[in-house]
Chain A
Amino acid sequence: MKINNVLHYLGLVIAIVGGFMLIPFTFSLINAEPDQMAFGISIVITLSAGFLLWRFTPITERRISLRESLAIVAGSWIMAALFGSLPFIISGVLPSVIDCIFEAMSGLTTTGASVFSSVENLPHGILVWRSLTQWIGGLGIIMLFVTILPMLGIGASQLMEAETPGQQERLTSRIRDTARTLWLLYLGFTVAGFIALVIAGLPGFDAFNVILATTPTGGFAPVSSIGVYNNLAVELILIFFMVASGVNFGLYYYLLWKGRPAKFFGNPEFKLYIGILAGCILLINWDLVANAGIGIFEGLRQASFQTASVMTTTGFATADFATWPHFSQAILLVLMVVGASAGSTGGGLKVIRLLVLFKYTYRRILLTFNPNAVIPIKIGGNVISDKLISRSVGLTILYFAALWAGFLIMSAIGLDFVTALSSITSCLGNIGPALGTVGPMSSYADIPGIGKLVLLIAMLVGRIELFTLLVLFVPAFWRWR
């Protein structure tokens, strides 16, 4: 592994992050707020760090190896979070450095767990930066990088595969065209959502921030919760865009570019995703009506928004689900693990893996009473290879291992049972708000420092799919040159 290759590309990624800081900088200039200094300094530091790193690491070979791409991907996310936290650190809006990094990582990984106890009094620049970090991380930093910068084709596809393993099908012949198509869709959703929100009556600044947190299924809002707006149209628009962003983006390509709706609506993952969503909304609605004494229409409104928000791993809220009846809370906790579809901007374990695991388990049951049966695992008529299944199984085991380990640590530092379990579940699945004392109407400010560090790692682990990050901690990765 040539360390120069890795640093060279990391420099470029850091520079891109610095470039994006110009947007909140403009907002703070327009509003003449004190955070403009913070952004000015952050931009200078980030851009020059990126440039110097890029400039002074000449690369000999343009082709990057698999190990290098893994290191680049993991490094990019860590660097982006560190440099992305600079505006928070320098402006002094948060009490400690770990809080600043937590907020930046929470944004980039589209988690949306906030350490701000109230956001109403924050300067505009900081608010925009919070929202924008999510938008940058939504489709993946590497995917953004591949779209913006000309890169050798095969290196680009290796990088994208390392960022979202086995999730994004190649749509076009050249990988850059695929990345561009997906970004175009993403941008299109964002613009469409912005216009819809403005029409629904949201102020321009709020609409801008909310939509930047919706299409990447992030969850930072410029107000304490979406419930503040008390606007049914806004809620419906957000439900639509949250659910749409939780669908595999590749499917839209077939729907919109290729005119093949059957490939979209007939997709087994899409059908299951919508099915689970609808089923859970009805169950929660019933629970709310029966056990919380909420009217059926109000119940449906609250259940739909909260369920869509949690399953797509967005994390917006119009009601405090931490105070809902236990059955509803349990459903939401399970949905946090399930997550959205593969190849979407959502997090969690992904619906497709659930489907694979279910079929795999079912096969095991059948094999128990008839060991001679040959049962291929099929999804949508295609046989899933054993290699893919074993990857899904391995990933799920790791996911739960991380979950339990995090749960133990969170309990050890003194959190109550519900808070400990739900906070780690929520961060690992990139949702944001959890249950207990870190519910949608409160913040992560009171979690002890070590807890924040654990959650911060959980967010990253949940976003770039465990293996990519874990390899960095395996000694053999560094030893086998």
Chain B
Amino acid sequence: MYIVIAGGGTVGYNIASMLVVEDHEVVVVEQSEKAVEYLNQQLDIKTIFGNAAIPRILRDAEVQRADLVLAVTDRDETNMVICFIAKEMGAATTAARIRNSEYTGYFIPPAKSTLSARRIIRPKSLGIDVFINPEVEMAREILGILSSFYSTPVEQLANGLVQIRSFTIEGSPMAGKTLSELNFAKPCVVAAIARKEELLVPRPDLVLENEDALYLVAERDNMDYLGRMFSAIQRPARSVFILGGTQIGMLVAEGLADHDVVVKLIEPDEEKSQKAAVRLEKAVVLKGDPTDRDFLTEQGVPSADAFVATTENDEFNILSCLVAKNLGVDRSLTVINKPSYIPLAEAVDIDVAGSPAIITARKIAHFVLSGGAIAATLLESGQLEAVEFVVSPQAGIINQKVSQIEIPKEATIGAVVQNNQVIIPPDEAVIHAGDHVIVVSQLNVLHDVEKLFK
């Protein structure tokens, strides 16, 4: 696919580096000379120096033949203009990163009630096919983790019938056993294993080690039950501290407060704390230094269920999480803007470190699908992808048993869905045209996997 990315910041860079691995043709337009230089040094892509909202620059980037234009500069208005011009020039699909939720709010068709605002403008008339809001996505993910039993995010496929989730072996008796010796209480498939930033192909004789992360594919109803093998259930958070009156912080605070969770938001800056207090009616806003132990103890951090750091300063986030963890908070979550810090944060026992850039990249994975894929999601910081394919009538694998399909060893077929019936493990299932097949694959072989289903 030919993909033009407008904006080469953190988000643009991460998306580009992901797409290059998948062997797409990528061009990045960026107007900061420094960023262009960095992109050229790091990635094998074409860069164009200039403002992407100018038609001449977009013409140089050949948007007229682009399959996808991603506008991910840091200004909403610029992104909207880029999508508008690109669409006019003939780009097939456009996606814009829009951070201001007031914009997205206006664009989304309102609920059918007489009281709701009238729709002023439709996204289509602006040429924008897809909205991406990294902050909202990030907040949604944090909320999902805080309300669930386990501290890892879950991915839903096949309309939510099938879930994929990673579990980490933490001193449980599983370490030292081979994969074939594991007894799962409910049917599931081990789709991949991550060991210290390295991905392992699941083979029956693979010996598991402590701290390996297993990606399980299972039916929705079985997932929580399976999780008990790995760690004790955590109860959904009832009291949460949030650091930072940022967009993410406020969205999380609002979401939690709506579910009657006790929320305290800490913001060191006077002006920002005022703003946050005006917006958040159900939460307590505190002005203070989150690395001050006495202040945190006084406010009750030691007995809180979770601490969420959402400022734009990664180092500050990590440090505050460590202080909170040290004081005895159950779970610590942090927002990380530099994806390279994520392994670092997890190494110092922060439970979840998520990056808006990676989440955005994950969201975009849906739109670079080719072949018979209808849904996709990125796992393991973008090294793995779970894809849902629909088997085309011309596919060579029709009438074959799943165990006979010659699929690259870096990919695993996790589930087959036939007439809304989930088959896990799918080894004995016979593939028919129109079946949904869920594959977990490393990015570099995705191309070969796609061919099977065409």
Q: Contact between B44 and A156 (Cβ–Cβ < 8 Å)?
A: yes
Q: Contact between B43 and A154 (Cβ–Cβ < 8 Å)?
A: yes
The residues of A that contact B42 with a CB separation of less than 8 Å are: 154
Is B279 part of the contact surface with A, judged by Cβ < 8 Å?
no
Is B447 part of the contact surface with A, judged by Cβ < 8 Å?
no
Q: Contact between A174 and B44 (Cβ–Cβ < 8 Å)?
A: yes
Query: Nearest Cβ distance between residue B336 and chain A, in whole angstroms?
Result: 24
Q: Contact between A153 and B46 (Cβ–Cβ < 8 Å)?
A: no
The residues of B that contact A170 with a CB separation of less than 8 Å are: 46-47
Query: Nearest Cβ distance between residue B275 and chain A, in whole angstroms?
Result: 39
Q: Contact between B33 and A153 (Cβ–Cβ < 8 Å)?
A: no
Majority-rule SS of B interface residues: mixed
Is B20 part of the contact surface with A, judged by Cβ < 8 Å?
yes
CB-contacts of A385-442 with B (<8 A) = 385
Q: Contact between B33 and A157 (Cβ–Cβ < 8 Å)?
A: no
Is A60 part of the contact surface with B, judged by Cβ < 8 Å?
no
Name the residue on B nearest A153 (C-beta). Answer: B44
Tally of A-B residue pairs with Cβ under 8 A? 28
Q: Contact between A173 and B33 (Cβ–Cβ < 8 Å)?
A: no
Q: Contact between A175 and B33 (Cβ–Cβ < 8 Å)?
A: no
Is A31 part of the contact surface with B, judged by Cβ < 8 Å?
no
A154 to B17, CA, bound (A): 11
Q: Contact between B33 and A154 (Cβ–Cβ < 8 Å)?
A: no
Is B216 part of the contact surface with A, judged by Cβ < 8 Å?
no
Is B257 part of the contact surface with A, judged by Cβ < 8 Å?
no
A170 to B60, CA, bound (A): 12
CB-contacts of A146-181 with B (<8 A) = 152-154, 156-158, 170-175
The residues of A that contact B41 with a CB separation of less than 8 Å are: 154, 158
Query: Nearest Cβ distance between residue A222 and chain B, in whole angstroms?
Result: 41
The residues of B that contact A154 with a CB separation of less than 8 Å are: 41-44
Q: Contact between A172 and B46 (Cβ–Cβ < 8 Å)?
A: yes
Q: Contact between A173 and B43 (Cβ–Cβ < 8 Å)?
A: no
Residue-wise interface mask of A (24-68) relative to B, using a CB-CB cutoff of 8 A (1 in contact, 0 not): 000000000000000000000000000000000000000000000
Name the residue on A nearest B37 (C-beta). Answer: A387
Interface centre among B26, B41, B42 (most CB of A within 10 A): B41
Query: Nearest Cβ distance between residue B68 and chain A, in whole angstroms?
Result: 13
Interface size class of B (residues with CB under 8 A): 10 to 19
Name the residue on A nearest B3 (C-beta). Answer: A173
The residues of A that contact B242 with a CB separation of less than 8 Å are: none
Is B63 part of the contact surface with A, judged by Cβ < 8 Å?
no
Query: Nearest Cβ distance between residue B234 and chain A, in whole angstroms?
Result: 41
Q: Contact between B27 and A157 (Cβ–Cβ < 8 Å)?
A: no
Residue-wise interface mask of B (30-51) relative to A, using a CB-CB cutoff of 8 A (1 in contact, 0 not): 0001000000111111110000
Name the residue on A nearest B2 (C-beta). Answer: A173
Is B25 part of the contact surface with A, judged by Cβ < 8 Å?
yes
Q: Contact between B44 and A385 (Cβ–Cβ < 8 Å)?
A: no
Q: Contact between A174 and B40 (Cβ–Cβ < 8 Å)?
A: no
Query: Nearest Cβ distance between residue B6 and chain A, in whole angstroms?
Result: 15
The residues of A that contact B44 with a CB separation of less than 8 Å are: 152-154, 156-157, 174-175
Residue-wise interface mask of B (296-327) relative to A, using a CB-CB cutoff of 8 A (1 in contact, 0 not): 00000000000000000000000000000000
The residues of A that contact B40 with a CB separation of less than 8 Å are: 157
Query: Nearest Cβ distance between residue A160 and chain B, in whole angstroms?
Result: 11
Interface centre among B25, B40, B42, B44 (most CB of A within 10 A): B44
A174 to B45, CA, bound (A): 6
A153 to B42, CA, bound (A): 10
Residue-wise interface mask of B (4-33) relative to A, using a CB-CB cutoff of 8 A (1 in contact, 0 not): 000000000000000010000111000001
Query: Nearest Cβ distance between residue A254 and chain B, in whole angstroms?
Result: 10
Q: Contact between B25 and A174 (Cβ–Cβ < 8 Å)?
A: yes
A153 to B26, CA, bound (A): 13
Query: Nearest Cβ distance between residue A161 and chain B, in whole angstroms?
Result: 8
Q: Contact between A385 and B20 (Cβ–Cβ < 8 Å)?
A: no
Name the residue on B nearest A175 (C-beta). Answer: B44
Residue-wise interface mask of A (375-386) relative to B, using a CB-CB cutoff of 8 A (1 in contact, 0 not): 000000000010
Query: Nearest Cβ distance between residue B373 and chain A, in whole angstroms?
Result: 22
A173 to B1, CA, bound (A): 11
Name the residue on A nearest B59 (C-beta). Answer: A260
The residues of B that contact A173 with a CB separation of less than 8 Å are: 2, 25-27, 45-46
The residues of B that contact A156 with a CB separation of less than 8 Å are: 44
A219 to B294, CA, bound (A): 81
Name the residue on A nearest B50 (C-beta). Answer: A382
The residues of B that contact A385 with a CB separation of less than 8 Å are: 33
Name the residue on A nearest B42 (C-beta). Answer: A154
Name the residue on B nearest A161 (C-beta). Answer: B40
CB-contacts of A127-157 with B (<8 A) = 152-154, 156-157
A394 to B98, CA, bound (A): 45
Query: Nearest Cβ distance between residue A261 and chain B, in whole angstroms?
Result: 15
Query: Nearest Cβ distance between residue A99 and chain B, in whole angstroms?
Result: 42
The residues of B that contact A174 with a CB separation of less than 8 Å are: 25, 44-45
A170 to B41, CA, bound (A): 13
| B-to-A contact residues, CB < 8 Å | 2, 20, 25-27, 33, 40-47
The 5 closest A-B pairs by CB, nearest first: A153-B44, A173-B25, A173-B46, A170-B46, A154-B44
| A-to-B contact residues, CB < 8 Å | 152-154, 156-158, 170-175, 385
7 contacts between A and B (CB under 8 A): A154-B43, A154-B44, A156-B44, A173-B2, A173-B25, A173-B46, A174-B45
